[in-house]
Amino acid sequence: MNPIKRSVTIRGHRTSVSLEEIFWVELHQEAHERGVTLAALIDDIDRIRVEQGMLSGLSGALRVHVAQRLKAAQTPSQD
């Protein structure tokens, strides 16, 4: 599965992000669930990445975010 490159605007700056299709699908789904644009979701993830001092680039941060979201969805809640 080859990465797909897409351009997004984050805090007023255009940037390109390369991700495999499955990650784009999951990000679109999350943006839809939150009622925000894909760019707004990516901006939020990038802001958190910078605040937490993550050394990975944006593509890596997006992959980690999707993986954490999917893992959390599989974990039964402790009510």
CATH number at residue 28: 1.10.3990.20
On whether residue 49 sits in a domain, the answer given is: yes
| Strand extents, DSSP E, 1-79 | 4-10, 13-19
Per-residue pLDDT of the chain (79 residues; tens, 9 = 90+): 799 999 999 888 899 999 999 999 999 999 999 999 999 999 999 999 989 888 789 999 999 999 999 999 887 766 5
Helices 58-74 and 21-34, packing angle to 10 deg: 70
Full-model pTM: 0.86
On whether residue 47 sits in a domain, the answer given is: yes
On whether residue 8 sits in a domain, the answer given is: yes
- In terms of residue numbers, what domain contains 61? 4-73
Taking CA atoms, 16 is separated from 45, 57, 66, 71, 74, in Å, by 15, 11, 18, 26, 30
Number of folded domains that form the chain: 1
